Structure 1
Amino acid sequence: MRYYYAEHQDAYRRLLREGMTQWNDLFGESWTFDDFPNRAFLESVLGRLVAGGEVLEYGCGTGPAACFLAGRGFRVDAVDLIPEAIAVARRMARERGVKVNFGVQDVCASPPGSKRYDVVLDSYCLQSIVTDADRAKVLRAVRERLKPNGYYVLSTAMYDPDRVYDGEFRYDARTGICYQETSVRSPDAVQLDGTWYLPHRRHLRPDALRTELAAAGLHVIEQDGGNVVAGLTYQAR
């Protein structure tokens, strides 16, 4: 089992069991399904996007962003690792009368696809894709699935000097990786100072994120912290 699976499986099973509708409900936060964390950012970039264009959202969770874009006329494919998340997403789309093609898929193990999109969307998934190899694979897939003048629209958690990493967590400032102590001896586990850890989150600074995207062949067009619009490198706009 990969490092990112158990946490998300447990979270979405609890969410489904307790009648919640989106990830932030698990932490008692005030966001709602229709007022989700990156809604304002998506609204701010709608003018850039092809009206009625095709969107791929990976790591969609219960689908608030996918439903939002479908409600504005976009044709949306959306995938998530956890079946329980997709079950809730399909219900929420039905309740809102919007059409989204939801599916279960591990973005870190996605088969090659030939369909290209006007938009590839990430709503707070990338920070849970931690290792260099996994992030390179995901960003390569983003590049390969974008149309020549398409946009990668990304919202991700970033390094925050006020965030405290204590107890079972350990932060590596050099890589931006937050590790969580574990007793599981999975292939992803690493030993640091005699203690075993699993990769948990990747919290980069803005310049490090730009560098990573550039290495993947993606050019940052605009960035506000972890909210980014990028396109394929060397594409005229």
Structure 2
Amino acid sequence: MSEGTATGTQEFWEEFYQDRDQIWTGKPNPLLVREAAGLEPGTALDLGCGEGADAVWLAGLGWRVTAVDVSPTALLRAAAHADEAGVGEHITFAEHDLAQSFPDGEFGLVSAQFFHSPVSQEDERTKVLRRAAEAVGVGGVLLIAGHAGWPSFIEDRHDVHFPTMDEVLDGLALGADWNVQTKDAVEREITGPEGQAGLRTDTVLRIRRMR
């Protein structure tokens, strides 16, 4: 893991993860499972790996995973999760503020699952996703999942913009070398922090680099 001066982004996410001993369920993101289960394992890059569930799942399928996050606390938990699952030797964890630095190499799968941040500008997200596309090797897949909006039990907050799939694609500006294999909106049932029943729509793009 790299060391350096903490950024505002790192401070935000460190506080986020240190607030509780465990934030996420420990299960991989369903849209990752849906879209990546049938891919031939190779090298994978997990952007914003959090507590490591996606990286552990991929490693369990035979992928060699580079998993990055801006939060040292999240990375320590992810590494512990990987060791407990017996796949620690198949995952390299690295600390990156992706707006400032990015892992080296090319990958057969680059995964950005729910890559939203309240402390990052939208143009920063677009730049990171463009850099993610550059890291996909020929024949590889860029997989981007995101929220389409707030859950149904939350009133619309106009201070937050959730990019549409077309906006993501326009921002990527990928060109003829790429093929959009999945472009889908998926509605799911969720339960709010106070037990509210509701719905939320997520989006997923699976884009393969053809040459």
1:155 is matched with which residue?
145
The one-letter code of the counterpart of 1:122 is: A
Q: 2:106 aligns with which of 113, 116, 119?
A: 116
- What's the % identity of the aligned pairs? 27
How many residue pairs end up in the alignment?
Answer: 184
1:167-222 Cα offsets, whole Å, 9 max, x none, are xxx525xxxxx1xxxxxxxxxxxxxxxxxxxxxxx412333233333x25565321
1:98, distance to aligned residue in structure 2 (A):
0.7
The one-letter code of the counterpart of 2:206 is: V
TM-score, scaled to structure 2? 0.75
CA distance in 2, matches of 1:98, 1:112: 20
1:227 is matched with which residue?
204
| Alpha-carbon contact 1:90-1:102 (below 8 Å) kept | yes
CA distance in 1, matches of 2:117, 2:167: 13
| Alpha-carbon contact 1:66-1:78 (below 8 Å) kept | yes
CA distance in 2, matches of 1:4, 1:73: 32
1:203 is matched with which residue?
162
Q: 1:216 to 1:139 in 2, by over 3 A?
A: farther
1:72 is matched with which residue?
61
2:132 is matched with which residue?
142
CA distance in 1, matches of 2:64, 2:103: 20
1:3, distance to aligned residue in structure 2 (A):
5.5
The one-letter code of the counterpart of 1:65 is: D
Is 1:8 aligned with 2:13? Answer: yes
Q: 1:98 aligns with which of 64, 87, 90?
A: 87
Q: 1:216 to 1:135 in 2, by over 3 A?
A: farther
1:115-143 Cα offsets, whole Å, 9 max, x none, are 10000011222455742431232022112
Residue ranges of structure 2 left out of the alignment (5+ in a row)? 1-5, 186-202
Which structure's CA Rg is the greater one? Answer: 1
1:199 is matched with which residue?
none
1:149, distance to aligned residue in structure 2 (A):
1.2
Q: 1:33 aligns with which of 26, 29, 42?
A: 26
| Alpha-carbon contact 2:165-2:205 (below 8 Å) kept | no
1:33, distance to aligned residue in structure 2 (A):
0.6
- Report the secondary structure of 1:156's partner residue: strand
1:58 is matched with which residue?
47
Is 1:171 aligned with 2:158? Answer: yes
CA distance in 1, matches of 2:84, 2:56: 10
1:50, distance to aligned residue in structure 2 (A):
2.1
Q: 2:171 aligns with which of 199, 209, 212?
A: 212
- Report the secondary structure of 1:108's partner residue: coil
- Report the secondary structure of 1:149's partner residue: strand
RMSD over aligned Cα atoms: 2.5
1:83, distance to aligned residue in structure 2 (A):
0.3
The one-letter code of the counterpart of 1:79 is: V
